[in-house]
């Protein structure tokens, strides 16, 4: 099934943007940053688009954490069989909670949020680090787009 997220954002506005941002923080590969910029270019207001993307993406990370906690045995098995999952597990074993500073990165960031729940990182550390990194990422994208005169 091929979903056209651009059309969803154009049709549903900020709700569509939030949905795309939520989905992009799961293990489904999707660039919510590109969708955010496309939505802004299509006329969505900058500040609400930023807030919606950040909140939806952070909420999805909490869901990933919860899945890691709730489905620990199955998640360990699944993470051990995927390359990005193996990488996330190694990072968490080596760096502990500090590995969450890489949670904004493509490919390894979302698995790290699942691993954090699986290994039961303290939720206060998880929220503080992951939310800060995700919000900073959206801010950096907007700043870059502003410098490049895209927005």
pLDDT tens sequence across 72-83: 888 888 878 888
The reported pLDDT for the residue numbered 35 is 87
pLDDT band at 148; cut points 50, 70, 90: confident
- pTM of the predicted model, to two decimals? 0.86
CA distance 138 to 32: 9
CB 25 within 8 A of CB 57: yes
The predicted pLDDT at position 10 comes to 79
Looking at the 3D structure of the chain, how many domains does it have?
1
Domain that holds residue 126: 5-147
C-beta separation of 103 from 109 below 8 A: yes
If you average pLDDT over residues 58-83, what whole number do you get?
90
């Amino acid at each position: 099934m091929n979903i056209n997220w651009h059309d969803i954002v154009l049709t549903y506005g900020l709700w569509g943007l939030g949905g795309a941002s939520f989905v992009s923080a799961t293990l489904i590969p999707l660039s919510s940053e590109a969708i955010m910029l496309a939505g802004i270019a299509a006329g969505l207001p900058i500040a609400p688009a930023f807030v919606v993307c950040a909140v939806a993406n952070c909420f999805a990370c909490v869901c990933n954490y919860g899945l890691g906690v709730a489905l620990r045995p199955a998640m360990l098995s699944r993470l051990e069989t995927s390359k990005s999952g193996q990488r996330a597990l190694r990072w968490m074993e080596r760096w502990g909670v500090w590995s969450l500073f890489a949670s904004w990165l493509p490919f390894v960031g979302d698995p790290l949020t699942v691993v954090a729940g699986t290994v039961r990182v303290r939720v206060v550390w998880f929220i503080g680090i992951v939310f800060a990194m995700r919000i900073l990422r959206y801010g950096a994208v907007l700043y870059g787009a502003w410098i490049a005169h895209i927005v």
